[in-house]
Structure 1
Amino acid sequence: MAASRAPLTRDSLRVKIIVQKVRLAGTEYRVIRPAGPLRNGALYKTHSHYEMYVDRPDGRRIGALWLLAARSPRSLVYLPMRTAPTAPGVGWEDEQPLDLVLAPRTVQLRPSRWKRIRERLNVGNAPRELRTASVPERDLPGLKADCIIPDNPKAANDFLLRKDVYAETLLLTGGTAAFREGAKEIFAVTKDGPPHAATEYHLPGSCNYHVCRPIYDWDLDTPKMRNWEQLHVEFCPQWAR
């Protein structure tokens, strides 16, 4: 089978979105979500970490939404992933499907509010605005570059994500640098995964036989990260149409 080739272009950083606004407890929340369902992008909680599976098209949509979160300090980015078709290799560790929310610190989202926000978003007559969002190529860090955490504690904090799990949702709270670094790993998987799957032995969910990257594989000796569970993204060829 020939290796699949689709270089990263400006179109890879363009994504159709729905923008909605929800008022709750006196606060208005602006929420960005993909305009169409994710068919080949899924997120699961395993016994020890979080596992995201993506093919190339949906992986690039997800990566672009991470970059959009980095550029949208007053908006939540909501990825409904619980209802995506089950990814290959899932089921042997009692994985729990999850949605994903990227929350800039400036929004100051209380995790306990998320369930009620989601309910209002999904009401059939809830107002929604369809848009096409574009992210500049300069926002995507070099795919091969390692993440270098600054020595200054305040600057290093920009690269950290706070993790909360509430209402079957993984909520990640952070800043611009953190979301851009996460996007870099997702785009790297969508670049390296297709040629590997097309030309070499590929077994989803099996160590050493797939293309994957950790999103924030932190040194657990760092006090703030001692309770961190790794978020891991793995490439899978398209599994649903």
Structure 2
Amino acid sequence: MTASRAALTRDDLRVRISVQHVRLGGVEHRVIRPARPLRNGALYRSHSFYDMYVDRADGRRIATLFLLAARSPRSLVHLPTRAAPTAPDVGWLGEQPLDLVLAHRATQFPVTRWKRLRERLNAGNAPRELRTARVPLGDVPAGEESSGTPVDDHWRRDPLRQHVHARTLFLTGGTGAFREAARDLLDVTREGPPAAATRLYIPGSCNYHVCRLLHAWEDLDHGREQFHVEFCPTWAR
């Protein structure tokens, strides 16, 4: 079995989305969601860190949604990862599934309003518009190969702030932070399949381990817990 590190194309940064406009407290909120459920993109909290597992396809969908968050300073990007099928070997450490919301700092959205807003989004009569979103390849920042900067150091320059409310992790930051996080996700989806194809996969082990850190342990003093993204071969169809 083989798998290649195929070059990223424009089609890799295309995603079907659902767009909803919901009023709450006299304010209209625009919310972007993936049009179809994530099957192989899940997020968990365990102790003081977050683990996200992705396969190639859903990892690239999620990365594209990070890039959309960078381009949508007035929108919330909601990834319903809590409803995804359980990733392999998850559960023995008491992991709790979480949804993920990406909020550009310009939205200034109070996370305490999220539960009420989510209820209105999920109402059967809430209108939604389906469309295809495309993000230019140029939105993906260069990695260490071209810039000389280690790819896991961006949390020091432009960190994504973290808040948990109503079983949802909010990541809030600027355009650069979301684009650099998307690059890390895309790196995982590029490097993961060749490793999985040539080595025995054992869930939760380190026989091969393709991952990136969006936040590192040293950042705990500033209220940002480790966010770890790991490649996992497709586990749900």
The Cα offsets for residues 85-131 of structure 1, whole Å up to 9 and x where unpaired, read as 00012011100000000011111111100011111111111100011
The separation in 2 between residues aligned to 1:3 and 1:235, in whole angstroms, is 14
Q: Does residue 217 of the first structure (1) align with residue 216 of the second (2)?
A: yes
Q: Any unmatched runs of 5+ in structure 1?
A: none
Is the Cα–Cα contact under 8 Å of residues 202 and 210 in structure 1 kept in the other structure? Answer: no
Secondary structure in 2 aligned to 1:141?
Answer: coil
Structure holding more helix per residue: 2
Q: How far off its partner does 1:150 sit?
A: 11
**Partner in structure 1 of residue 18 of structure 2:** 18
Q: How far off its partner does 1:202 sit?
A: 2.4
**Partner in structure 2 of residue 62 of structure 1:** 62
Q: How far off its partner does 1:227 sit?
A: 2.3
The separation in 1 between residues aligned to 2:65 and 2:24, in whole angstroms, is 24
TM-score, normalized by length of structure 1? 0.91
Q: Which stretch has the larger CA shift, 134-143 or 15-24?
A: 134-143
The separation in 2 between residues aligned to 1:150 and 1:228, in whole angstroms, is 10
Q: Structure 1 residues 218 and 96, CA, compared in 2 at 3 Å: closer, same or farther?
A: closer
Superposition RMSD in Å = 1.8
Q: Does residue 126 of the first structure (1) align with residue 122 of the second (2)?
A: no
**Partner in structure 1 of residue 87 of structure 2:** 87
The separation in 1 between residues aligned to 2:143 and 2:38, in whole angstroms, is 23
Task: Figure out how many residues of one structure are paired with residues of the other and give that number.
Answer: 232
Q: Does residue 233 of the first structure (1) align with residue 229 of the second (2)?
A: yes
Is the Cα–Cα contact under 8 Å of residues 69 and 77 in structure 1 kept in the other structure? Answer: yes
The separation in 1 between residues aligned to 2:101 and 2:206, in whole angstroms, is 27
Q: How far off its partner does 1:134 sit?
A: 0.7
The Cα offsets for residues 157-183 of structure 1, whole Å up to 9 and x where unpaired, read as xx1211110000001111101101110
| Deviation >6 Å, runs of 4+ | none
| Correspondence list, 1:69-218, <5 A | 69-144=69-144, 146-147=150-151, 156=157, 159-207=158-206, 209-217=208-216
Q: Any unmatched runs of 5+ in structure 2?
A: none
Q: Structure 1 residues 150 and 188, CA, compared in 2 at 3 Å: closer, same or farther?
A: closer
